[in-house]
Structures are given as structure tokens and as C-alpha cells.
Chain A
Amino acid sequence: MSKDERGRATRRGQPYLEEPEAKPFWAACREHKLTAQRCSSCKKIFGFPPQALCPHCLASEYEWIELSGKGTVYSQIAYHRSWHPAYQDKIPYNVSLVDLAEGGRLVTNVVDCAPEDVKIGMPVEVVFEDFPEYTLPKFRPVK
């Protein structure tokens, strides 16, 4: 395990693809589909991270549904300091909280847009970025 200057372990920086509750989400991202759990009982979207029982009514039955990929920026920030070697040459970069149209929120990046041009309330839509081992949903401004 690599350590930072204060002796703390470097952050992992990657999703846990094999986490049982989240496995279908990451598999769908690989096919460029944004999905979420919908409760079979109260019909509400679970939100993220995925979990075994409905956070609203505790029902255990749910289905994975494909979302529209539309959302709105709830808040946005720009990292000017890197906490991970992979981001050393990417600063400054945007990180946003995107509220999805159907419910649920993701920590994500708004791309195709300079960090200073990302605004709270901005409508965005999903795009997918493929890495060798996984695919991340990101968002771009709706044209």
C-alpha cells in the first residue's frame, strides 16, 4: 500500500466492481446504460450507492431500470489540489453533485465544459467514459 507524505495510505480511486449490491450498476455502465434500483412496492428510486432493501419502505423486492440520463447540477466544485497520483496533471478539474431526473444523486464530473463554466442548476445529460476495467458515468451540459 503506497503512503502519502503524512504516512496515510493513498486512496484507491476506483470503484468496487464486485460489490454485490452494485455489480449490476457497473455492468450496465459497461454497456453505456445508466441504471438505478426501483422499489417494486413503493415504486421509488433507491438512490446511490445501491443497497439490498428499499431506503424508503424497506421492501426487499426491486428492479433495475434504465434512467433517462438527464439531471441537474446541485452543487459544483473545482479541485485545484491533487490527492491522488492519477489527478496530478488534471487539476483544476470539476466535480459535481448531479441530481438525476428520476431521483438519486451521483458524485460525478461535468465534462465538455471548462470547470469555471459549470453552474449550479445547469441541466446535464449522461456520457460514459471507458477505462480498461470499468466505465464511469459522467455528464455534459445539455446543448
Chain B
Amino acid sequence: MGSISGKYCIVGMGETAVGKRPDATTNSLHLEAIKACLDDAGIKNTQVDGLLTNQPLNDSHRSYAVKLAHMAGIDPLYATDLALGGATPIAMVEHAVMAIDAGLATTVVCVHARKRSTVDPTPGHPIRRGDEHWEEPWGHFAAAGGHAFAASRHMHEFGTKSEDLAEIAISTRKHASLNRNATMRKPITLEDHQNSRMIVAPLRLLDCSLESDGGGAVLVTSAERARDFQKKPVAILGMGQHHPHFSLLDAPTLVTLGGKKSSETAYRMAGLRPKDMNFAQLYDCFTITSMITLEDYGFCKKGEGKDFVKNGRISIGGELPLNTHGGLLSQAHLEGQLHITEAVKQLRGNEVEPERQVANAKVGIVSGHGGSLAMHATLILGAL
């Protein structure tokens, strides 16, 4: 079987305004993202023949992808909802490649929007995240708790400190300050981080991501067809997934997650190594998530993330710019959808504010992470 590395491309991407969108609904944000994506690609809705989306958090009805396709005037030959939490946006791109490669469709839109900052007036039923009924009776309610368990264990095993996690929050905020479509743009200091209130010890407020309204989408097609689109195509070079546990109760470890095997698959497919990456857009629901992913992706050894993130290495202009858009921590939390659109923009060049463009960006890696630190997906993207 021949490698599919480089045979499929992202040829369109769209982002909505993010932050507080009180007048928007989950449905309207998805449609807005699709429209922005198709306008960017320069094609009509009737030319799209596949749609993938994330199961909406606040509405558990089935087959949202099919509903959304028909709301958007798309007659899909392929459509489904994926449900891998924050690993879903990347998994959607992977499934789009697989569907096109299998001949089910030619042009697939992958869309995700969230309505989490302001109340969604649409009635619906919340979806269960995991084994809540084996966690909540003991007062464990929040994603912050699950990630605090990982941070606590990382600190115990490797001597990582809260001040080390702060490096990620500070650098990410600096990048958000350069992004006009970011929610939190005021730069922060180590003191700000250390003085921010404790949420679930050892994680402080500035270790935590935002709750946001907004959406994003990308359009996937074959490399041959990609030449007919108006924007410079971005090639999908490597893909991977790994889901090593489901809940905290069956996690073999909380300091190495799915990113290790997921990235190994993606590097192998792409024929590339960590040192080939010009930037990384790594899922950052909490600072600890990005630190563990930096280690799992081989940018440094396990336990050395605390040293790797220092001295400007992860800032624009550094060795490995991390989350150049401001991430979930400071731009907006759309479960990583905007990590993908940002990677596309960086690789096209001339699409972001000049001061946050990574110089000579040719190859970048993107991660998604979901559930109780359970699900993971990786994309390696390259400029053509």
C-alpha cells in the first residue's frame, strides 16, 4: 500500500469571530464557519460532497453532520459526526482523507463550533463526558481536576513547578496579544500567573483555557484537485491517533498520554522528525497538556518539558514557536479547531499579522486531545 502522505490537501479554511457571541447559536456558528471556509476556498456549497463535524456538546441528537450539511445546502455523499472530544477536529481531517482516498467523496468540509461562553438559547441535552458517576460523588467535577491530577503527578515524578507551567501561559498570551481575533490580549507576567487564584491545585486560573463561542472549518481535497483552488494548498503529510485509556480509573499513567504513539504514526507517515518542525500548535486546554505533549512528541525527553519551555524557545522567533495564535488558553477554546486553521495560515504565509508569522514556515505539527486526557490525534502539515 502506497503512503497517502502529501496526496491530500487543505484548500480552504474559515474562522468566525470568537469570544462572547450572545446572539449566536450553535447552529449559526457552524454555518458561519462553513461559509467563511467556502469563501476562502472560492467554491460554492454545491461543490462540496462531504461533511464531518463534532457531536455538539449541548445537544445530543444524532447525525448532526447530516442536519448541518442540509442546513448548508450540501448534498453529502459522505457525512458523519465524530466524538473524540478535543481530538475531534484533527480526526475529522484524517477521516476526510480516508473518505476521499476510499472514493466516497472528493471535497469534504470539516467544521466545528462551540457555544460555551454565553447561553445557547437552543434547547438540548448535555452529553456525558465519561464515567462522571464514578467521579462526581467524591467531588471531582471538572476537566481542571483531571488535568490537575496529571500536573500533580508530573511535578512528583520530574520536579516540574507551577512556575514552569507559567512559561507556557505567558508565551501563549504574548502570541494572543498579536492576534486581532483573540479573546485575551493583555500580556501577563510570572507574577500575574502566580497570583492568579487556585482553581484545582496545582492548577491556577492562568493554567486554564477559556470558555468560548465561535467556530472554524477546513476543506480537504486531493492534491490534484487542490491546484484548481484559489489559495496555496497545504499538504497533509502525517496523521495519527492513540487513545490509551478512557477514564482516570483505567489510565496506565498520566504523565505520558496518547501523543507518544499518535505522533510516532504521524512522523513515520510523513518521513519527518521532531527537529523538522518549524512550529507546533499543541492542544492547550491546560498548560500541563502542552507540556506533556511537547515531551510525548519528542521535542525533549520525558520530564524535561520544564526546561524546554524556558528562554523564549516556544515563542515566535524561538526554536519551536508554540501556539502562535494564542491557543485555547488565550485566543479561544474551540476544541483545537483553530489550531488547524492557524497552522494552515502559517504555512500559506502572509495570512496572519506579520509580527506573529513564523519565518520560513514549511512544516508544522498540530495536536488534539480530548476526554479525561484520553483521546489524542496528530496532524503534520506542510507548505507545497
Instruction: List residues of A whose CB falls within 8 A of some B CB.
Output: 6-9, 11-16, 19, 47-49, 55, 74-81, 83-84, 87, 90, 92-93, 95, 97, 104-109, 115, 120-121, 134, 136, 138
Contact = CB atoms under 8 A, between A and B. Distances in A.
B359 interface: no
Contacts of B248: 97, 105, 107
Given A8-B58, A107-B249, A120-B153, A49 B131 contact: yes
B136 A11 contact: yes
B141 A107 contact: no
Contact of A77 (B58, B116, B201): B201
Nearest to A118: B152
Interface in B279-306: none
Interface in B144-163: 144-145, 148-150, 152-153, 156
A74 B153 contact: yes
Nearest to A17: B133
Given A106-B249, A136-B138, 14 more contacts: A8-B58, A11-B141, A13-B141, A15-B133, A49-B133, A75-B153, A77-B202, A79-B145, A84-B141, A93-B139, A105-B250, A107-B134, A107-B249, A120-B152
Nearest to B149: A75
A105 B200 contact: no
Interface string B248-261: 11100010000000
Interface stretch (B7-15, B82-90, B117-125): B117-125
Interface in B241-283: 248-250, 254
Contacts of A7: 119-120
A77 B149 contact: yes
B152 A95 contact: no
B133 A78 contact: no
Determine the main DSSP class of A at the interface with B.
loop
Contact of A6 (B116, B131, B139, B149): B116
A84 B119 contact: no
Interface of B: 58, 116-120, 126, 131-142, 144-145, 148-150, 152-153, 156, 197-202, 211, 248-250, 254
Contacts of A134: 137
Contacts of B198: 78, 80-81, 92
Given A7-B119, A95-B140, A16 B145 contact: no
A20 B276 CA distance: 52
A81 B116 CA distance: 19
Contact of B138 (A92, A108, A115): A108
A56 to B, nearest CB: 11
A6 B200 contact: no
11 contacts: A75-B150, A75-B152, A75-B156, A79-B201, A87-B139, A92-B198, A97-B149, A104-B249, A107-B248, A109-B138, A120-B153
Contacts of A78: 198, 200-201
Contacts of A12: 132-133, 136
Contacts of A84: 136, 139, 141
Contacts of A83: 141-142
Contacts of A16: 133
A136 B137 contact: yes
Given A47-B250, A48-B134, A136-B137, A80 B200 contact: yes
A16 B131 CA distance: 11
Given A11-B132, A77-B149, A95 B138 contact: yes
